[in-house]
Chains A and B, each alone.
Chain A
């Protein structure tokens, strides 16, 4: 992949969007599968910290 030279396409002439951003699609539930991350390693610890803080956040808000 890295070897092929690629570049972004030029903007089509008539392309226009508010604030230059057009939302076309989105991810739905079908775009993902529930899987289990292994609770191991430094990056998992960071993930767990984020996940758990968010929970206590919303609990605090109530």
Chain B
């Protein structure tokens, strides 16, 4: 890694067994590739989403789902929500999520956790730096993957959030190394998600703008990615620690705690640590059930003062009480699109990633802020969506399989800024055509935010009759054209447009009261329109046959030199020019 300290030498490429890992605050996953297909692997407990938790009982170490269950009985020796503390000073961490497990503590300004991790009665508790906690946890992931593969896993690609600092990255690499794991590369989460989708056999590499919403347990991270010829450039990111899975759990915790108190006036179960831990686990399970079904049950043995509690909730009720949180995701996504200088109309795909992305309402809410031309890739909106909980690990595994045969030094050189930081054109370059009505129309060929060198080809029809045609190459950019609905008042006098008639018939008996409603009913129309900018070149293609087509290839070099080649499709020769 260019930005981190050199690792100790890893195995030779031929001796590697490489996997993909996503290491989250709430859950982690491991993935392998088999015949170029990535799959997320279940650990020995059968879990593919492995809670990022360690717990110690009688000197025995538990991790994953088993450790999570110990949040009820053994919170004082259970370490959870620690990933974001790696490589951070104690004073800069947010311990909000650690109330119900071992609290992070300040050891010379760094973050540590004290647990009794040895069996002996007389053994003192250990104070473990967060790096050591991470190493122990990663070791468990590697062991699970090694068992699955039947050979020792040596190397991994690991995903990190886009706002992970160099210090955090270095700390993660060191923690992995200490677990005897070579880190081939750290890749950013949104790009791992895009790669997981682009690696599907049916995927075609298109130029597109993709929004990736990584919605987890304690944080939500959104990125706008320009995908250009299979190269990915992050245009903007946003991070939020309020609107995430835990906030949805909290809604259900409060809902059922209140219901419990209605039935059993007295103590608030949220005020007892153990009861609260039970509420939290069951709320999460109920929340997950509501992602699949319209009804879910909620039941806890001995919730408070020995009283059992059982209830149910339906999805509509849940969506109503959780409305504020659910709508928060929309605002987050809208803000990052804006930050990228784009409009929702510019977005081709929204990839929903992370556990919280299973929530149907989040996907449908997002669908309502984007135009119908935007594909929302989530289980609730598209049948072929990839499990959002698996995207990151899959992407990491795919990247691992791509680079595992390279020497570590080659990988480091390739990901160096000298190779990755390149000019991206700000305007589109395209061909000026004419519509049937004779208006000039810009046909984009190389889109804005394309990294150079780049080459793209389009095919444009010649006039029906054929003959000599002009290929005019220009820069272009877009604006959003807003058409306000025609006010009804104005439509009436000049009379009898069909639209007006239909509407009159519709609200026949509500003539005076519908004034304000109308404005809401008829939405303004928003479209993306290309403006034609400076001309770059003109070329002539002569004697095109009737019904012929012209091929135009634009090649932008690393030095921004532009080469244009154009010819009639199927004909020899053609014109070539350099700018």
Contact = CB atoms under 8 A, between A and B. Distances in A.
B448 to A, nearest CB: 10
B174 to A, nearest CB: 21
B539 A40 contact: no
B47 interface: no
Interface in B412-429: 413-415, 417-427
Nearest to A19: B575
B187 A31 contact: no
A39 B415 contact: yes
A32 B191 contact: no
Given A20-B539, A39-B420, A41-B232, A9 B414 contact: no
B423 A8 contact: no
A27 B433 CA distance: 21
Contacts of A31: 425-427, 475, 560
Contacts of B321: none
B373 to A, nearest CB: 10
A31 B423 CA distance: 9
Interface stretch (B253-261, B306-314, B354-362, B457-465): B457-465
A22 B539 contact: yes
Contacts of A6: 433-436, 441, 443, 460-461
Contact of B229 (A35, A38, A43): A43
A35 B575 contact: no
Contact of A36 (B403, B417, B460): B417
Interface string A29-54: 10111111111111111011011100
A40 B232 contact: yes
A57 interface: no
A62 interface: no
Contacts of B225: 38
Query: Which size class do A's interface residues fall under?
Result: 35 or more
B231 interface: yes
B576 interface: yes
Contact of A8 (B198, B431, B453): B431
A17 B441 contact: no
Contacts of B579: 23, 25-27
B195 A40 contact: yes
Given A31-B475, A33-B424, A40-B192, A12 B470 contact: yes
A58 interface: no
A21 B560 contact: no
Contacts of B564: 21
Interface in B557-579: 558, 560-562, 564, 575-579
B575 A9 contact: no
A36 to B, nearest CB: 5
A38 B231 CA distance: 7
Interface stretch (B10-18, B132-140, B329-337, B530-538): B530-538
Contacts of A26: 536, 560-562, 579
B230 A43 contact: yes
A11 B470 CA distance: 5
A39 B539 contact: no
Interface of A: 1, 4-12, 15, 17, 19-29, 31-45, 47-48, 50-52, 55
Given A9-B463, A21-B540, A33-B424, 14 more contacts: A4-B435, A7-B463, A8-B433, A10-B470, A15-B470, A15-B538, A21-B539, A21-B576, A32-B560, A35-B422, A38-B188, A39-B415, A41-B402, A52-B414
